[in-house]
Amino acid sequence: MTSDVNYRRATRQKKARRKRLRTAFVLFIIITIITLIIMCFTVFFPIQRIKVSGSKIYSNSQVIKASKITTDDNLFVVSEDKIKENIRKELPYIDNVELKRVLPDAIVLTVTDAKESMYYYLDGKYVVLSESGYILKKQDEMPQNVFEIVTSGISGNVSELANYKNGAEQELIQTIEASVEKYNINIDKIDVSNILQISLEIEGKFTVVLGNTDYTQEKIAHLSSMIESIGDRSGKINLSMWTPKNSQGSFVEDKS
């Protein structure tokens, strides 16, 4: 009887010992993994090389300086979003930044230059915007080779997204811009300050009245065919009454 009790006690002790050993081993593995992870983010993979490509406006050294990446940074700790924010803030003519980490010690930045697309006039300054809607610069002279936008209100600082008082106006400008580009119409001005009386100036020849926001893309498609038929004449095109059931537009030639 006593031997059975001793046997069972010894068996339980062995099982408890094995359980403690397994627990200790698992804890050791977890601590080792955590230590390695911490070392990866502190000791291992310091940035030694920064490569830049893509910009024809800024030098590679300008982009690196603006990124604020240093050789003290860790390859996996640096924030891609923060780097993009730093570069855009310092270099407004950078439209996009792609970041790639290359083991063991390199960061590769591929940048895309912004293109001037449109401008608005405010407080005595011409404010130039990129295709992505960021403010590129403010200047005294009227910009060339970009079109003007007129809205009920727009503001912002250089390197920031333009802040439209009315978000619907921003969407409308984007729709019109995409539509005129689709039909190769050269636009000089978009006026959406009154969305019941939207108007355009195009190709240095025509004032176009689109009316309200209904059928905007369809109206511009019709406008394209009207421009072809009008030829070299200039004047006022009215599409404010255009609908799919009343697909007519009027043209009044400028006789002056």
Tens digits of per-residue pLDDT, 179-192? 999 999 999 999 99
Weakest mean pLDDT among 38-42, 133-137, 142-146: 38-42
Q: Is residue 216 part of a domain?
A: yes
pLDDT band, residue 248 (cuts 50/70/90): confident
Q: How many domains does the chain have?
A: 3
User: Which segments of the chain does DSSP mark as H helices, in order?
Assistant: 2-42, 60-67, 80-90, 167-182, 216-230
Q: Is residue 138 part of a domain?
A: no
Q: Is residue 139 part of a domain?
A: no
Same domain for 178 and 247, yes or no, is yes
For residue 220, which amino acid is it? I
The predicted model scores a pTM of: 0.80
pLDDT band, residue 37 (cuts 50/70/90): low
Q: Is residue 23 part of a domain?
A: yes
pLDDT band, residue 22 (cuts 50/70/90): confident
pLDDT at 240 over 80: yes
Peptide bond connecting 244 to the previous residue in cis, omega within 30 degrees of 0: no
Same domain for 35 and 67, yes or no, is no
CATH number of the domain at 186, please: 3.40.50.11690
Note the pLDDT tens digit of each residue in 46-93.
888 999 999 999 999 999 999 999 877 888 888 899 999 999 999 999
Give the number of residues written for the chain. 256
Q: Exposure string (b/e) for 29-56, b if CB count within 10 Å is 16 or more?
A: eeeeeeeeeeeeeeeebebeebebebbe
**Mean pLDDT, residues 200-219 taken together:** 95
Select from 185, 192, 197, 150 the least CA-distant residue to 169: 192
Boundaries of domain holding 14: 1-42
**Mean pLDDT, residues 114-132 taken together:** 96
**Is there a contact between 8 and 16 (Cβ–Cβ < 8 Å)?**
no
Of 12, 27, 42, the last residue of a domain is 42
